[in-house]
Chains A and B, each alone.
Chain A
């Protein structure tokens, strides 16, 4: 079933056409990667889906419901979790407190004046941290963590909204190679076991070709190719404008490493 559908998304910044007629669909439990060179319009497309940007044209529907132009908080309430290129967490909170805060928001309890926030949703928050492998660090301030761990906490925060769809903007940016593979495997595992759709952008071809079910290639705001990792890797146009020959070989290696 189609979880997310983008139809004809278009965005202009002054004279620059950042996204032109971008159309794609994503099914529940599927991982769809958007790749392309810098400035191709990946983040623009992404932010139009997540509500951070209003498209100039086109529409976005989530499970049949139109969400075009809705602010992020409303998109979130419809079951969309989001992680950012530069991880966004609540720096003054502990690891546990970050997830508790997300759960408080998810349950619509942010206006409570008398309850003790530190005692709310502890168990649920710990369970989420356990899923991303961060339960042992629950009481540390999130500002003390290594960046890779912050990204895991951010994933737990996104999962607190019980999302049907995860939007991940360069989930492995700024991480060490070993951490990258582990995080992507974690995301893929959660997505498959719970039927969550994942839309992600990524520069790391290992992460893309190892885990994406389908790939969109965006160049100068336009989709120039789409398909399974094999199809995209074999596409001569993609090889020419984006992957190059060494990139194509690396993509094949990554695919073999992940799937044997």
Chain B
């Protein structure tokens, strides 16, 4: 390999690093002040690109000058900043005090809404942007041609860093941002106008995301998939750098940009995996990232959001559970479509229940639970299609595969807590997704695999429905038993006070790891059953949207309730099944519903049922 080639490779790594930093700096500043991890940051990036491909060509009609090009880019960034203000005023200021799971979900609701709005305004076709006047040529570096625009991008990152430094150290607003990042309560106590500070921070953060997106238009077309792909990378950068640290984000972006540029030479297919491995390694050594600080412990103990004191079902609860079970078993009397939906509800109920075993019972907020569901499905599917095994051993393998990967990823996950833990589960899920997506020879890539059919005896919809019912109900009853057993109680104890659990002799980390593995195995079983019910598998079974669906189910059912997630899965799936064919704007509807649930209905169906029961007759 020639030196000139390596140099060019390094330069293109620096260009990506620079772009990544501009975006991630906004995310990390917003997190530092508001303590909210803003999923919609990726949407701001996407909006920046879409606005730029609209505004910039219009401006260039007047005069093809670099000035107008960059004026258009800046205008796009400022417009996105204004959208950030809208989001802060309408949504974020209502959720600063709710648990982080709810914050993450609410901002993900915004992601869904923006996706549909972008399609509505700009249509489904990718829109290429104009090239930058004056920077369209290539520069020759040691005989290698290198685009001038990329060279320009390399300087954008350090410039933004310098400007942010000036802002943070030379202006009152910046000093307040730094103060709030260190101690939000104290800044409030000093009489600072918090509302203005938070709104201003969102403007800055969103504008940086918009700038990052607008600067990309000469390189990549604006497309509706930009948001989720960039947000995971931005998460990784902020987590590695330390959440809230701008210099940390800069260093992390450099590391990742260079790792990707050179990683692609050595492992062309798994650059994404390398990035996440770097993140896992950093978090194991420095759990709060390179430049991050541990979260200050809450001054007073608060009741955790989750399952409190599980009690045996009372008579009404038993009747309700019995009726629901009988109804599911009687579905074959209705029609084939009802059976199909019923089978899916059972499978999703198990997946949701296993997720709430972690979230509600263990306080372990997993944002990538679909990974174990999907890996179980792929484990079973590959055994059938590639190894030629029948359904029975494949269904045994599904929970083993799900559990094994949960054990592997969980080993790192349980070392962290709170928002870092959620980010790491998300990162691992994205690794799994990327591997399944890119390893075309084995997994079939984007198209997935077909021909995952049940054995002959279980081939009819009705028989498969009963098989699914037997396995999922047994698994749910087992997990429910575990919640009431010492192991489940120990997970709740560790959630309430890890310090106290440690002091009574509990190995907190090991118990959380075992719990994570058990939940992964249950999700794997659900995934295996799902594969055979569809006859096919594809990478969406591991994707973030499905993980969010699971979270929405437990939120809808009520995370403080043991059996609520089952009801939540049924309600969620029924509504989705009914509405999705009726509307082109399912995501808009789902996003608005998630936000509505977080704002007005945070205890879910089980909470509504409980308050109904408590009402005097």
Q: Given A101-B490, A160-B504, A111 and B308 touching (CB < 8 A)?
A: no
- Residue from A84, A86, A90, A116 in contact with B485 in the complex, judged by beta carbons closer than 8 Å: A116
Flag B295-312 by CB within 8 Å of A: 1 or 0 each: 000001111101111000
Query: For residue A201, which residues in chain B have a CB less than 8 angstroms away from its CB?
Result: none
Q: Given A113-B482, A115-B485, A120-B486, verify A76-B503 contact (CB < 8 Å).
A: yes
Question: Do A110 and B486 touch across chains, with their CB atoms under 8 A apart?
Answer: yes
CB atoms of B309 and A93 under 8 A apart: yes
A114-B301 Cα distance, complex, nearest whole Å: 30
Interface check B481, CB cutoff 8 A:
yes
In whole angstroms, how far apart are the Cα atoms of A93 and B496 in the complex?
A: 9
| Contact of B274 with A by CB under 8 A | no
A177 within 8 A of B: no
Enumerate chain A residues within 8 angstroms of B497, measured Cβ to Cβ: 88-91
Verify if A141 is at the interface (C-beta below 8 Å from B).
yes
Nearest-neighbour CB distance to chain B for A84, whole angstroms, equals: 7
The reply to whether B484 and A73 form a contact with Cβ atoms under 8 Å apart is no
Q: Mark A103-115, 1 if CB is under 8 A from B, else 0.
A: 0111001111111
Q: Do residues B303 and A111 form an inter-chain contact, with CB atoms below 8 A? A: no
The contact size tier of chain B is 35 or more
Is the pair B304, A101 in contact by a Cβ cutoff of 8 Å?
no
A71 touches B502 (CB 8 A): yes
Q: Which of B468-491 contact A (CB under 8 A)?
A: 481-482, 484-490
- Assess whether B490 is in contact with A94, with CB atoms less than 8 Å apart: no
Asked if B496 and A106 make an inter-chain contact with CB atoms under 8 angstroms apart, the answer reads no
Q: Are B506 and A73 in contact (CB under 8 A)?
A: yes
* Residues of chain A with a CB closer than 8 A to B490's CB: 101, 104-105, 110-111
Query: Closest CB of chain B to A97's CB: distance in Å?
Result: 7
Q: Verify A114–B309 contact, CB threshold 8 A.
A: no
Q: Is B131 among interface residues, defined by CB-CB distance under 8 A? A: no
B486 with A89: CB separation less than 8 A: no
Closest to A82 in B: B503
The reply to whether B505 and A105 contact each other, CB–CB distance below 8 Å, is yes
Q: How far is the CA of A229 from the CA of B482 in the complex (A)?
A: 52
Q: State A92–B483 Cα separation when bound (angstroms).
A: 14
Contacts of A71 in B (CB 8 A): 502
Residues of B within 8 A of A132 (CB): none
Q: Does A72 contact B (CB under 8 A)?
A: yes
Q: Does A225 contact B (CB under 8 A)?
A: no
- Whether the pair B500, A89 counts as a contact (CB closer than 8 A) is yes
Q: Is residue A161 within 8 Å, beta carbon to beta carbon, of the partner chain?
A: yes
B65-97 contacts to A, CB under 8 A, are none
Question: A101-B490, A109-B486, A113-B487 known; A91 and B304 CB under 8 Å?
Answer: yes
**Closest chain B CB from A49 CB (angstroms):** 12
Bound complex: CA A90 to CA B306 (Å): 13
- Pick the contact of B489: A88, A101, A161 (CB < 8 A): A101
Instruction: Please report the C-alpha to C-alpha distance between residue A160 and residue B505 in the assembled complex, in whole angstroms.
Output: 11
Whether the pair B482, A97 counts as a contact (CB closer than 8 A) is: no
Chain A hits for B495, CB < 8 A: 92
Complex CA–CA separation, A241 to B514 (angstroms) = 52
Would B486 and A117 count as touching, CB distance under 8 A?
A: yes
Q: Is B392 an interface residue (CB 8 A)?
A: no
Determine the distance from Cα of A161 to Cα of B505 in the docked complex, in whole angstroms: 8
With most chain B CB atoms within 10 A of its CB, the pick from A84, A112, A141 is: A112
Contact status of A76 and B505, CB under 8 A, knowing A91-B496, A110-B511: yes
Does the CB pair A93–B505 fall under 8 Å?
no
Bound CA–CA A121/B506 (angstroms):
17
Q: Which residues of B contact A161 (CB under 8 A)?
A: 504-505
- Say if the beta carbon of B492 comes within 8 Å of chain A: yes
- CB neighbors of B among A121-144 (8 A): 141, 143
Residues in A whose Cβ lies below 8 Å from that of B508: 73
A223 to B495, CA, bound (A): 38
A176 to B487, CA, bound (A): 37
Are B514 and A111 in contact, CB atoms less than 8 angstroms apart? yes
Residues of B within 8 A of A82 (CB): 503
Residue of chain B at shortest CB distance from A90: B496
Question: B488 — which chain A residues lie within 8 A by C-beta?
Answer: 117
Q: Which residues of A contact B507 (CB under 8 A)?
A: 73
Interface string of B118-157 (1 = CB under 8 A from A): 0000000000000000000000000000000000000000
Q: How far is the CB of B501 from chain A (nearest CB, A)?
A: 8
Q: Does A226 contact B (CB under 8 A)?
A: no
Nearest A residue (CB) for B505: A76
B493 at the interface (CB under 8 A from A): yes
Q: Are B503 and A72 in contact (CB under 8 A)?
A: yes
Instruction: Judge whether A117 and B484 touch: CB under 8 Å.
Output: yes
Q: B505 — which chain A residues lie within 8 A by C-beta?
A: 73-74, 76-77, 105-106, 161
Contacting residues of chain B (315-335) with chain A, CB-CB under 8 angstroms: none
Q: Is the CB of B303 within 8 A of A92?
A: yes
Chain A residues with CB under 8 A of B492: 90, 92-93
**Within 8 Å of chain B (Cβ to Cβ): is A50?**
yes
Check: A198 CB closer than 8 A to any chain B CB.
no
What distance in Å separates the Cβ of B302 from its nearest Cβ neighbour in chain A?
8
In the assembled complex, the Cα of A101 lies from the Cα of B493 at a distance in Å of 8
The answer to whether A67 has its CB under 8 Å from any CB of chain B is no
Q: A90-B496, A92-B308 are in contact. List 16 more A-B contacts (CB 8 A).
A: A86-B300, A88-B301, A88-B499, A90-B497, A91-B303, A91-B497, A92-B495, A93-B309, A97-B309, A102-B504, A105-B501, A110-B511, A113-B482, A114-B485, A118-B484, A160-B504
Identify the B interface with A (CB < 8 A): 300-304, 306-309, 481-482, 484-490, 492-493, 495-497, 499-508, 511, 514
**13 residue pairs A–B, Cβ–Cβ below 8 Å:** A72-B503, A88-B499, A90-B500, A91-B302, A92-B496, A93-B492, A97-B309, A105-B506, A106-B504, A112-B487, A116-B485, A117-B485, A141-B308
